[in-house]
């Protein structure tokens, strides 16, 4: 049936027609723009080129040869440190023996030590020298290999070049510079609570030593008592000076404390007497 005149379909508004045509015609243009924008975005970290195999192989080979070169030194360190620990146990110094064992394992793992037990210091110095001597030809050989790879990838593969920089640092024994230490507060270097807390007693070869917070103290022997003065002279050291009967100063000594503040090594600056070990008397 033919539509009646008043039922004829309405004409589209010119503005509506042009808007619909605009939307249709802009789609191909948007696709081109988006494709160009995507191509201009740099690769993300996840999409970065992988490190070439010859670079990763170089580091793996070096680590294997380095470990093999220091095996004899590792064996000596383990044997001698075990002897030191055994001696400490026989002396009733179980805590010190545990420190020696822990520090030995840290050293063998190639990690830095924040402190070294006095009985282990000489042995570790010999160990470091032996390892450095054994590893020197290996470091030189692998440094040459790394330099050759740097030349190979220069101007071609930034990922490889940066990876080789890290490899060379490991081969040459370099490590990032440590963060600056926080300066100690005045109380940590001048108060009695740092090295010789008031009320603590230390027992040594020649008696017991009681420290007061004002920089004075009492040394008690089976036969007499003596006054002494003390002052902090370093992060782990204090100076000890006895006061004679007539007020004169004598027997100057340097006390060097271990980190747990349980053991102190007392040395004579004049080297007339050898070092002795004192222990804190637990209350």
Reported as a single tens digit per residue, the pLDDT across 227-262 is: 888 787 777 778 888 876 655 666 778 878 776 667
Q: Look at residues 124, 141, 171 and tell me which one is the last residue of a structural domain.
A: 171
Regarding whether 157 and 91 lie in a shared domain, the answer is yes
| Cα dihedral value 78, 82, 85, 89, nearest 10 | 160
The verdict on residue 110 lying in a domain is: yes
What pLDDT was estimated at residue 25?
A: 54
Task: Kindly tell me if the per-residue pLDDT of 126 is higher than 60.
Answer: yes
The verdict on residue 186 lying in a domain is: no
Regarding whether 165 and 60 lie in a shared domain, the answer is yes
Please, which residues bridge with residue 263 across strands? 279
pLDDT in tens, 97-107: 888 888 888 88
pLDDT in tens, 43-85: 444 455 788 888 888 888 998 898 888 888 898 889 988 899 8
The verdict on residue 90 lying in a domain is: yes
| Cα dihedral value 205, 206, 208, 210, nearest 10 | -120
Regarding whether 163 and 66 lie in a shared domain, the answer is yes
pLDDT greater at residue 233 or residue 13? 233
Q: How far apart are alpha carbons 25 and 35 in whole angstroms? A: 17
Regarding whether 154 and 226 lie in a shared domain, the answer is no
What pLDDT was estimated at residue 48?
A: 57
Tokens representing 249 are: 């100063």
The CB-side HSE value for 69 (13 A sphere, CA atoms) comes to 18
Q: What range defines the domain where residue 87 resides?
A: 53-171
CB 88 within 8 A of CB 117: no
Regarding whether 160 and 92 lie in a shared domain, the answer is yes
Regarding whether 139 and 237 lie in a shared domain, the answer is no
Integer distance in angstroms from the first to the last C-alpha of the chain? 115
pTM equals 0.45
Average pLDDT of the residues of the chain: 73
Regarding whether 152 and 258 lie in a shared domain, the answer is no
Task: Kindly tell me if the per-residue pLDDT of 212 is higher than 50.
Answer: yes
Please, which residues bridge with residue 255 across strands? 238, 266
The verdict on residue 184 lying in a domain is: no
Residue 217: CB atoms within 10 A of its CB come to 23
Q: How far apart are alpha carbons 11 and 203 in whole angstroms? A: 110
Q: How far apart are alpha carbons 216 and 226 in whole angstroms? A: 11
Q: Look at residues 137, 171, 205 and tell me which one is the last residue of a structural domain.
A: 171
Q: Look at residues 171, 204, 228 and tell me which one is the last residue of a structural domain.
A: 171
Regarding whether 221 and 151 lie in a shared domain, the answer is no
Regarding whether 209 and 163 lie in a shared domain, the answer is no
Tokens representing 110 are: 């190639």
Mean pLDDT of 189-209: 61
Mean pLDDT of 202-210: 80
Q: Which residue is associated with the tokens 């022997």?
A: 221
The verdict on residue 251 lying in a domain is: yes
Regarding whether 198 and 135 lie in a shared domain, the answer is no
Strands 276-281 and 249-257: unpaired
Among 2-16, 136-150, 262-276, the range with the most confident prediction by mean pLDDT is: 136-150
We report the CATH number of the domain holding residue 258 as 2.40.128
Regarding whether 159 and 101 lie in a shared domain, the answer is yes
pLDDT greater at residue 112 or residue 270? 112
What pLDDT was estimated at residue 210?
A: 85
What pLDDT was estimated at residue 254?
A: 82
The verdict on residue 162 lying in a domain is: yes
Q: Which residue is associated with the tokens 């007061």?
A: 212
- Residues of the chain with pLDDT > 90: what percent? 4
Task: Kindly tell me if the per-residue pLDDT of 148 is higher than 90.
Answer: yes
Give residues with Cβ within 8 angstroms of 220, minimum separation 6: 207, 208, 209, 210
The verdict on residue 42 lying in a domain is: no
What pLDDT was estimated at residue 22?
A: 44
The verdict on residue 218 lying in a domain is: yes
Tokens representing 176 are: 């990032």
Per-residue pLDDT band at 147 (split at 50, 70, 90): very high
How many Å separate Cα 106 from the centre of its chain?
Answer: 11
CA distances (Å), origin 30, targets 17, 33, 118: 20, 5, 74
How many domains is the chain partitioned into structurally? 2
CB 263 within 8 A of CB 257: yes
Regarding whether 138 and 88 lie in a shared domain, the answer is yes
């Amino acid at each position: 049936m033919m539509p009646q005149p008043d039922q004829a379909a309405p004409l589209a508004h010119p503005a509506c027609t042009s808007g619909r045509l605009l939307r249709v015609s802009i789609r191909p243009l948007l696709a081109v723009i988006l494709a160009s924008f995507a191509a201009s975005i740099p690769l993300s970290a996840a999409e970065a080129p992988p490190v070439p195999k010859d670079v990763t192989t170089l580091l793996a080979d070096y680590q294997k040869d380095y470990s093999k070169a220091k095996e004899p030194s590792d064996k000596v360190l383990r044997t001698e440190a075990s002897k030191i620990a055994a001696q400490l146990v026989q002396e009733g110094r179980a805590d010190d023996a545990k420190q020696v064992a822990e520090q030995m394992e840290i050293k063998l793992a190639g990690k830095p030590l924040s402190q070294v037990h006095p009985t282990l210091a000489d042995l570790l110095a010999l160990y470091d020298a032996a390892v450095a001597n054994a590893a020197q030809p290996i470091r030189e050989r692998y440094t040459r290999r790394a330099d050759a790879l740097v030349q190979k990838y220069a101007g071609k593969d930034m990922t490889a070049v940066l990876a080789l920089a890290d490899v060379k640092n490991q081969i040459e024994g370099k490590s990032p510079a440590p963060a600056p230490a926080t300066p100690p507060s005045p109380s940590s270097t001048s108060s009695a609570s740092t090295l010789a807390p008031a009320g603590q007693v230390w027992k040594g070869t020649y008696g017991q030593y009681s420290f007061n917070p004002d920089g004075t103290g009492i040394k008690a022997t089976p036969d007499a008592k003596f006054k002494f003065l003390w002052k902090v002279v370093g992060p782990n050291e204090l100076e000890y000076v006895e006061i004679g009967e007539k007020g004169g100063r004598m027997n100057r000594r340097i006390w060097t404390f271990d980190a747990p503040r349980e053991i102190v090594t007392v040395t004579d600056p004049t080297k007339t007497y050898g070092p002795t070990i004192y222990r804190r008397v637990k209350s």
